[in-house]
Amino acid sequence: MEAAHDYTPPVLLFNRHLETIYPSLLRKVSFRRPRRERITTPDDDFLDLDWYEQGAKKLVLISHGLEGNSNRSYMVGMSRAFFRAGYDVVAWNFRGCSGEINRQLRFYHSGATDDLHTVISHIARSYHDIRLVGFSLGGNMTLKYLGERIVHAAVKKAVAISVPLNLYTSCVVISRPSNWIYTRRFLISLSAKVRAKPALARVLDVGKLSAMRTLLEFDDHFTGPLHGFSGARDYYQRCSSITFLPQIKVPTLLLNALNDPFLSPECYPVVSNPNITTGYPGRGGHVGFARFDGNGLYWSEMRALAFMDETG
């Protein structure tokens, strides 16, 4: 099923990079402080969850993107939107993303659905109606989770935004010279986390960090081997959510802007699964979809709210 393509960006955001950078760096979202909870994973690591609670029966669980966290404007904006619509909300942090380095050698990655399942199982002790929202890497993780395993019965619907459905071809796209500013920013942040774990130097050659210029190089040397893959290509092949779309049984909305500077053509598939609604607006950038009309909601937040409420 295809959703209506009804997004029009503000006039000032006249290209894909402005549509991507403005929401990331300049959007300010005023909202209440969350309650932070730390839970333990089965391998004795920890995950930090930010709770926005008002005694609702329905809860939205939100997953961030590469090198994001629960405090990013797109996370707080989506949290605020659903909270005001009557939901309880949890915005969770992947391993090593909450401001404190995690305990185990491993970090997070695009296919780390074991951690997503741990969080869902924890929340499902108190909620029988859980909705999922995932951005970018978190969107890929969400779609992979929905299609690879028997989903927890509490999970009712999902929305995935700006998703690199094909990890390899999207990595090639983001490595283009026109996207160097994004690649450089990610590599600086990822490299800092590797260096913050001295124990990694005993199993991997940390000295190669300074010479890396692409995310593919980082994933080939660190992400892949550290998480049980033979290298970057094996990691991308096994974790790309596009291969899991046919198995998804939960009503799901996929929103990818056609001008997203991070995404390859393979990230806009014609989906035959009737449980998946696709929306591929011409504009929006990556995790963008800004609106300046004064109500504080971005188009992606409005679309996610509408989809979640379409069938209750």
The dihedral over CA atoms of 184, 186, 189, 192, expressed in degrees to the nearest 10, equals -70
Residue type, 276: I
Does domain 16-166+242-309 sit in CATH 3.30.110.60? no
Question: Which residues belong to the active site?
Answer: 136, 260, 286
* Cα torsion angle, 23, 282, 7, 172, sign: negative
Angle at 73 between CA 63 and CA 156, to 5 degrees: 30
φ/ψ of residue 46, rounded to 5: -135, 155
Distance CA 75, CA 186 (A): 18
Closest CA to 281 of 262, 257, 302, 301: 257
In the block, tokens 């929401």 appear at: 23
pTM here? Answer: 0.97
- Render pLDDT for 2-29 as a digit per residue (tens, 0 to 9): 565 689 999 999 999 999 999 999 999 9
Average confidence (pLDDT) over 259-268: 98
Average confidence (pLDDT) over 285-308: 95
Percent of the chain with pLDDT over 70: 98
Distance CA 214, CA 172 (A): 9
- Render pLDDT for 153-204 as a digit per residue (tens, 0 to 9): 999 999 999 999 999 999 999 999 999 999 999 999 999 999 999 999 999 9
In the block, tokens 């053509």 appear at: 265
Angle at 241 between CA 240 and CA 246, to 5 degrees: 130
- Render pLDDT for 71-121 as a digit per residue (tens, 0 to 9): 999 999 999 999 999 999 999 999 999 999 999 999 999 999 999 999 999
Asked if 156 contacts 129 with a C-beta cutoff of 8 angstroms, the reply is yes
Mean pLDDT of the chain: 96
Which segments of the chain belong to CATH 3.40.50.1820? 16-166+242-309
